[in-house]
Structure 1
Amino acid sequence: MDTRGRATVVDLFGRSIPLSSLLDEIPSAVVILSRERRVIRLNRAAEALTGIRSEDAWGLPCRHVLRSSLCAGSCPLRSLSPDTGPTCREGDIINRDRQKVPVRITFSLVCDHEGSPVGFLEVVEDLRILQQLSDKKAHAYSFGNIIGHSPEMERLFSILPGIAQTDSSVLITGETGTGKDLLAEAIHQVSGRAKGPFIKVNCGALPETLLESELFGHEKGAFTGAAHSKPGRFKLAHNGTLFLTEIGDLPLSLQVKLLTFLDDRIIHPLGSTKGIRVDVRMIAATHRDLHAMVREGRFREDLLFRLNVVRVHIPPLRERGDDVRLLLDHFLAFFSSEFQKKIKGFSAEVLDLLLHYPYPGNVRELKNIVEYAVNVCTADTIQRRDLPAYVVEAPRGVPAPAEPAVPSRVASAPEALSPARAVSAEEGWEEVERRMILDALVQARGRRNRAAELLGWGRSTLWRKMKRYGIVGNQNRGE
């Protein structure tokens, strides 16, 4: 070996081979150190990772070349001996461009023929790609604050970024507690209107007289008590998004005014003779069956057409499969951190109970259950005694909420199939669902594609539930 660390390997393959020709072919970064922990050699991958040439690094202490977070404490090389073998640690290094790079370093002791230590070998793996893949995977399982990895949610997440980039009106449907409000805000946050205001109005929270003023505003003296002019929510949402939740509770008289705005984008405050043009994107949400309300004369059909430009349905939690476990773990970690408790997880009994609970209140109910359990838990795992009494006492297969089902599709879909017979008080949800599947298959003459449409499910959801309930036979798959 010369003074710059250029060395040869003697008698390898029966010939003397330059060490560099071997090291440079290794894709991972390799650093060879002397017994004094000074750099002897960097291979090409190590030069690329650190931004330092091997010749420039020669003779420098390892900590001055890698500048690793692992050097802050006791150097891992100090603990190596011929008896302990290699050790592996994860940390960060700072390259020549002052970038922090996450790495995994394997530290090994190099011994001579007699077993005496002569130096050290460090193999440095760049973890940036793995982190990017992990982040990408995590992003695929979420949109805003909504998480899930069931096929239904993955399909939903795949189309939402494109929807967010348009100004089309969006109608979000789904049962109470599924996360319609979160989805509306997430659409706003990733849209071109993200820097504008996001204004939310609950159409069922105010009486009709106050709701009109709240939405469209009023002029001074427009009615008794109107001592000052007030801008409505439409005006406050200018250049942003107006979210009307519980749109099914909007009175018919205000449905007409909302329809007028959607046609010309002009609002007319109470007591004003002049209209005001506003640039607002409309997102509406409801847990009601608006088509049924149209048939009953309680909702305008033309307004439904205006709102239903893009329809997004959030499936109920009972149709999201493994998302229940994902959400349980997510909220347990969140509330454990929030309440500064060291809770590791759920007991086997509690986990089995929670995985089979029907969650009529959907994700909101699941969140509340976990928050309650973390509040009262005094051990390192959630026990049966930590759950709300109604969850423990509830029989498995509690009937689903009585509100009408909405087809779980984006855009218009056929009406969801209803049970052909009445549901008895003793009959659990699982039996009701099994019967609905059988009725759908009979009505579709065994074609699973058609049966899935009647039920408002995806094909994979139908097939999974058929296997769950043992409904597998020679029905035509309808592929």
Structure 2
Amino acid sequence: MSDRTAQGVSATGVSPMVNGMFAMPVEAGPLLDTIPFPLAIISPERKVLFINEAAQVLTGFSLEEARGLHCMYVMRSSLCPDKCPLAKVEDTDSAVCVDANIVNKDRKKIPVRANFAPVHAPDGSIAGYVEALEDIRILQELEIKQGWSYGFGDMIGHSHEMERIFQMVPGIAQTDSSVLVTGETGTGKDLLAEAIHNASTRAKGPFVKVNCGALPETLLESELFGHSKGAFTGATESKPGRFRMAHNGTLFLTEIGDLPLSLQVKLLTFLDDKVIHPLGSTKGVNVDVRIVAATHRDLRQMVREGKFREDLLYRLNVVRFHMPPLRERGEDINLFLNHFVHVFSEEFGKKVTGFSQDALYFLEHYTFPGNVRELRNVVEYCVNVCGQETIEVEHLPRYLMEQPASSVVAAPSMSAPVRDVQTSMPPVSGAMPPPAQAAPGGAVNWADMERKMILDALLQARGRKNKAAEILGWARSTLWRKMKFYEIESS
């Protein structure tokens, strides 16, 4: 009988006891890495001994970072430490399945279904634990979004272009064709890439994201393709790389326009034969990965300038989605304002219901150069600082008021009535006077527009401030404060 047999090897390939310590055969690591579900091997002292590649993707921790840490510092579950499932496993000596949330290294909360099972030593005692996780974000999204007719995944929209994208995604997701997503920063390219993955047959596999512009070329090559031990100074251990971590899943290459030309060649080689070559290795590795790439750059112009390979563009541009900027999405601005007010009111425990007419009018005609990301940040700020049910102009970020006139575009019909974000908002008394006329070049400056609104209301009210405030739908103190700000005098 070999020493290994005497030590007792479980059905999982884990050797529970080696010289009185919980351990694992060397060959078990690569075997567990092929399993698409996140797995962790935990010692009786609840220290992490091993996490497979799927668990590394989910948690954001590498094996080297996680090994030796208490499991609560790696998995960071909502059940730690007061309701630790391992305590129940220890008490009952049986497997336990629970739903919980974990927080990954990027501080993103992920709902999971966690399964815990004991690993027994030859004498029957518990020598450690196996933890298996299942990402259940997809299931929760389906439950939340049942009945939504204006969205897909985490994306929402009513505009024609977005509805066209929503209709195309399910069919494209079922193929393995490369996808190129273009659009300005903040338009939701990342959300579209993740929606394609979640709607595909690869949904249970990993979704791995790499920002091609975030690392220098020398580190990026190792990050993408991995390296062998001793490949360069400091390479004390082999590293799988993001391609291997995304095996049976999707690799999302954001800012593909920033990928150095030398790595463009290696990516093109992979797209041709599905084989990667880690640094320092003479042997290629076959990986089954779908590529989704995204950029805010004009790749065709970069091809003309010799900064991007034309053959790689053709390989990536099999299916192309273009995310339209928010300023071209019409009613979607209202939809986002409504959505994020609800989201942040719930998150911050506030009772904010929507925007006043003048605050809403300004936001509807602001160009949002940062697109949906900027709008989300604006609403988060407003809900944070607003101490009442309705967000007023004074609750908007100050930088919006300091923007040049070109940042606020003219409405299609400058005399059109202003719409409420929330249908439950109380009606505003009085009639809103027509906004100021468009400035030269088709733009409106908010400060000039608001000053003109006050003057028009005072004129209509024959100088009576109470009546002017009623016409504007403001409190008297609001009108007086704004008149003082704009240095408007009225007898």
Q: TM-score, normalising length from structure 2?
A: 0.54
Q: Secondary structure at the match of 1:397?
A: helix
Match of 1:257 among 255, 266, 271: 266
Report if the CA contact (8 A) 2:365-2:408 is conserved. Answer: no
**Residue 307 in 1 paired to residue 316 in 2?**
yes
Inter-CA distance 315–231: structure 2 relative to 1 (3 Å threshold): same
* Structure-2 change in CA distance of 1:143 and 1:428 (3 Å): farther
Equivalent residue in structure 2 for 1:141, among 143, 147, 150: 150
Report how far residue 156 of structure 1 moved: 1.1
What is the aligned counterpart of 1:154 among 148, 160, 163? 163
> What's the counterpart of residue 373 of structure 2?
364
The equivalent of 1:287 in structure 2 is 296
- Note the alpha carbon deviations across 1:414-464, whole angstroms, 9 max, x for none: xxxxxxxxxxxx975769xxxxxxxxxxxxxxxxxxxxxxxxxxxxxxxxx
Note if contact 1:169-1:307 (Cα within 8 Å) is conserved in structure 2.
yes
Instruction: Report if aligned partners of 1:396, 1:428 keep a CA contact under 8 Å in 2.
Output: no
Closer/same/farther in 2, CA of residues 238 and 135 from structure 1, 3 Å limit: closer
- Contact preservation (8 Å) 1:290, 1:299: yes
Amino acid at match of 1:226: A
2:208 and 2:246 in contact (8 A); partners too: yes
Asked if residue 183 in structure 1 is aligned to residue 192 in structure 2, the reply is yes
**Counterpart in 1 of 2:244?**
235
CA distance in 2, matches of 1:272, 1:254: 16
Instruction: Give the aligned partner of residue 34 of structure 1.
Output: none
Select 1:272's aligned residue among 254, 261, 281.
281
Query: Could you say which residue in structure 2 is the equivalent of 1:321?
Result: 330
Structure 2, unaligned runs of 5 or more? 1-143, 410-438, 445-491
Q: Which amino acid aligns with 1:141?
A: Y
1:170 aligns with 2:174: no
Identical residues among aligned pairs (%)? 71
Contact 1:267 1:278 survives alignment (8 Å): yes
Deviation at 1:393, TM superposition (A): 2.9
8 Å CA contact retained: 2:366, 2:408: no
Matches within 5 A, 1:89-168: 138=148, 140-168=149-177
- Alpha-carbon distance in structure 2 between the residues aligned to 1:136 and 1:272: 49
Structure 1 unaligned residues grouped into runs of 5+: 1-133, 401-425, 432-479
Residue number in structure 2 paired with 1:394: 403
Q: How does 1:361-440 map to 2 (within 5 A)?
A: 361-398=370-407
Does the residue aligned with 1:226 lie in a helix, a strand or coil?
coil
Letter of the structure 2 residue corresponding to residue 346 of structure 1:
F
Amino acid at match of 2:394: R
Helix, strand or coil at the partner of 1:218 = coil
Moved more, 249-258 or 150-159: 150-159
Cα distance between partner residues in 2 of 1:429 and 1:217: 53
Aligned to 1:349: 358
Aligned residue in 1 for 2:231: 222
| Count of residues paired in the alignment | 273
Q: Which amino acid aligns with 2:203?
A: A
Provide closer, same or farther for how the CA distance between residues 245 and 227 of structure 1 changes in structure 2, counting only shifts above 3 A. Answer: same
Partner in structure 1 of residue 129 of structure 2: none
Q: Report runs of 4+ in structure 1 exceeding 3 Å deviation.
A: 134-137, 426-431
Give the aligned partner of residue 200 of structure 1: 209
Change (3 A) 1:358 1:259: same
Tell me the C-alpha RMSD between the 2 structures.
2.0
Identify the residue that residue 47 of structure 1 maps to in structure 2.
none
Change (3 A) 1:399 1:272: farther
Q: Does structure 1 conserve the Cα–Cα contact (< 8 Å) formed by 2:362 and 2:408?
A: no
In the alignment, the residues of structure 2 paired with residue 429 and residue 236 of structure 1 have an alpha-carbon distance, to the nearest angstrom, of: 51
Cα gap change, 1:332 to 1:349, in 2 (>3 Å):
same
Residues 1:265 and 1:135: Cα distance change in structure 2 (over 3 Å)? closer
The answer (yes or no) to whether the contact 2:187–2:324 under 8 Å persists in 1 is yes
Which residue of structure 2 lines up, in the alignment, with residue 209 of structure 1? 218
Offset of 1:396 from its aligned partner? 4.5
Q: Read off the aligned partner of 1:156 and give its amino acid letter.
A: I
Please give the alpha-carbon distance, in whole angstroms, between the structure 2 residues aligned to 1:257 and 1:247.
13
Within 2, Cα distance between the matches of 1:175 and 1:254?
24
Q: Is the CA contact (8 Å cut-off) linking 1:358 and 1:396 kept in structure 2? A: no
Flag the 1:307–1:263 CA change in 2: closer, same or farther, 3 A.
same
